[in-house]
Structure 1
């Protein structure tokens, strides 16, 4: 499974790179604070909503600690998506947060 650290993702955002971040946390968690510009697809809906995603794009999965996003990464990779997990999740995030 491909992985990025929180620091790598934050640096890429600060450098102006366009990242496709998918937050797989529940709605109340996302409303409490998320990385600006994320796509919100709760983990339990991922299998039903993956058709909304483009297999020609790369995605980075985000959750609270990295466990749920790891499961989402494995699921999407098994369907041929270019996807990576952000290790550490929002618990380790030091960058900008939107509510």
Structure 2
């Protein structure tokens, strides 16, 4: 499974790169803190897989990296080859990029 660090993700955002960010946490988690990804909770990832691009890089994130890894495993079984897991998830983002971000 491909992985990306929070610094690499920040660089992609800052450079205006064309990619999709998918957040697989639950609604209440997303409302507490997010970095603008498209919310598709893990439980519905296969149902809503048509919302996930196959034509450009996709970064999948969650709180710590475990649920996003599970989502990627499910999607790769469906033929996706363009997915990267955000190492450490929103917790790493808060620790390394945005220390003022509220975490839970």
Note the residue ranges of structure 2 that are not aligned, 5 or more in a row. Answer: none
User: Structure 1: which 5+ runs fail to align?
Assistant: none
Q: Deviations over 1:38-73 (max 9, x none)?
A: 111000010111022232222110000000001111
Structure 1 counterpart SS, 2:45: helix
CA RMSD of aligned residues (A): 1.6
Q: 1:43 and 2:48 equivalent?
A: no
* Distance change >3 Å, CA 15–CA 54, structure 1 → 2: closer
Partner of 1:71: 70
Q: TM-score, normalised by structure 1?
A: 0.87
Corresponding pairs, count:
96
CA shift at 1:19, angstroms?
2.5
Spell out structure 1 runs of 4+ moving beyond 6 A.
none
Alpha-carbon separation, structure 1, partners of 2:38 and 2:91: 18
Give the Cα–Cα distance (whole angstroms) in 1 for the partners of residues 47 and 24 of structure 2: 13
